[in-house]
């Protein structure tokens, strides 16, 4: 199907910040406001392997072993030393790592917020209770359509029973993320997903699909109409924030002018333990998180990113917005564009 695409997943919603994070949210806000040179959010890949094979995704394979617990513990410790506020465990499919609950417990033990992203297929009552016990604070479940197809297997009809289990047993926040931008034929699916999230009392967010360069096509009239219906249904803080920050322009094919703090306020740590700007910009800076320093954070905080105008990654926009008023002067060092796997 040509260049593979990625749903601009959210790793921690603004609803999380405003609702029920307990003492952790106070620490998050303090770290956001008291210093500019510390990560607010790190996405940490705990395994590249996934139990699904969605056609648009370039962030998985079907053979990699889980990252060993000892290496993940070292990475958590390194993030703690950098004064990181929150860590999201991601993949691949993080539930395929048998050490996941141990890692979440380590994150919480260090006083950091712990969240995760999953397709939900491997959830059951036992796993939900284990995630409760280890202190998980938010789970995002990505649902792209109603029925599986060649583009995505993350389908509502396949995992609605898992949502019901979560509604009965989860003590952590649950955010259901749907996507717009695949096609007009699949647009109505996003509204159905939003209605289901509301039925179970979950938060809902909507992302926009981008290609391997991070760009999206302007929305059709049907997609605009569905976006308005979805955001009107859920009354999500994140919907409002994301629309104002970047989606309003991108859905019309227009660039945004903003200061991306990837590599500083936001870190993406791949399965090999290296820091990248994000999942779509692998290769830079390419430094192991265990060797990442305050100087690296300061450099990336002040470095303009040439990919920023058309970026659809909500987590990066959200973490960068808190420092939007601060200057960013350094010229772009020439970021490598790493092609997605299989292209």
Q: List pLDDT tens digits, range 79-111.
A: 999 999 999 999 999 999 999 999 999 999 999
Q: List the chain domain ranges.
A: 6-321
Q: How many residues does the chain have?
A: 343
Cα–Cα dist 21/113, whole Å: 8
Is the Cα torsion angle 105, 107, 110, 114 positive or negative in sign?
A: negative
pLDDT in tens, the chain (343 residues): 333 444 444 445 555 554 445 556 677 787 887 888 999 999 999 999 887 766 667 677 778 999 999 999 999 999 999 999 999 999 999 999 999 999 999 999 999 999 999 999 999 999 999 999 999 999 999 888 888 777 676 789 999 999 999 999 999 999 998 877 666 777 888 889 999 999 999 988 888 766 555 556 788 888 888 888 888 886 667 778 888 899 899 888 899 999 999 999 999 999 999 999 998 888 999 999 999 999 999 999 999 999 999 898 889 999 999 899 999 987 765 555 443 333 2
From first CA to last CA, the distance across the chain in angstroms is 10
Cα–Cα dist 110/81, whole Å: 10
Cα–Cα dist 299/116, whole Å: 28
Instruction: Look up the pTM and report it.
Output: 0.88
CATH of domain 6-321: 3.20.20.70
The residue among 140, 216, 211, 210 whose CA lies nearest residue 178 is 140
**Sequence-ordered list of residues with C-beta below 8 angstroms from that of 272, at least 6 positions apart, any chain:** none
Where helices occur in 170-303 by DSSP H, the ranges are 187-199, 221-234, 237-242, 248-250, 294-301
Could you tell me which residues are beta bridge partners of residue 174? 139
């Amino acid at each position: 199907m040509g260049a593979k695409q990625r749903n601009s997943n959210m790793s921690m919603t603004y609803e999380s910040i405003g609702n029920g994070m307990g003492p952790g949210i106070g620490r998050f806000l303090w770290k956001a406001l008291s210093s500019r040179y510390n990560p607010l959010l790190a996405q940490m890949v705990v395994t590249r392997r996934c139990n699904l094979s969605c056609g648009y995704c370039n962030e998985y394979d079907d053979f990699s072993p889980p990252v060993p617990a000892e290496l993940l513990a070292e990475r958590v410790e390194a993030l703690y030393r950098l004064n990181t506020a929150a860590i999201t465990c991601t993949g691949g499919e993080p539930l395929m790592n048998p050490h996941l609950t141990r890692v979440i417990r380590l994150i919480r033990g260090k006083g950091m917020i712990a969240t995760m992203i999953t397709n939900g297929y491997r959830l059951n009552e036992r796993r939900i209770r284990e995630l409760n016990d280890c202190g998980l604070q938010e789970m995002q479940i990505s649902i792209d359509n109603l029925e599986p197809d060649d583009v995505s297997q993350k389908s509502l009809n396949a995992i609605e029973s898992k949502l019901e289990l979560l509604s009965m047993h989860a003590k952590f926040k649950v955010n259901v993320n749907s996507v717009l931008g695949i096609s007009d034929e699949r647009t109505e699916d996003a509204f159905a997903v939003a209605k289901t999230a509301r039925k179970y009392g979950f938060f809902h967010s909507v992302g926009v699909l981008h290609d391997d360069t991070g760009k999206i096509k302007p929305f059709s009239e049907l997609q605009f109409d569905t976006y308005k219906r979805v955001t009107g249904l859920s009354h999500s803080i994140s919907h409002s924030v994301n629309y104002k920050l970047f989606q309003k322009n991108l859905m019309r094919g227009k660039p945004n002018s903003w200061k991306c703090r990837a590599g500083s306020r936001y870190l993406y740590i791949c399965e090999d333990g290296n820091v990248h700007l994000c999942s779509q910009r692998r290769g830079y800076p390419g430094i192991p998180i265990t060797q990442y320093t305050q100087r690296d954070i300061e450099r990336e905080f002040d470095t303009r990113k040439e990919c920023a105008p058309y970026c659809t990654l909500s987590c990066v926009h959200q973490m960068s917005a808190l420092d939007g008023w601060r200057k960013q002067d350094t010229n772009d060092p020439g970021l490598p564009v790493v092609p997605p796997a299989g292209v």
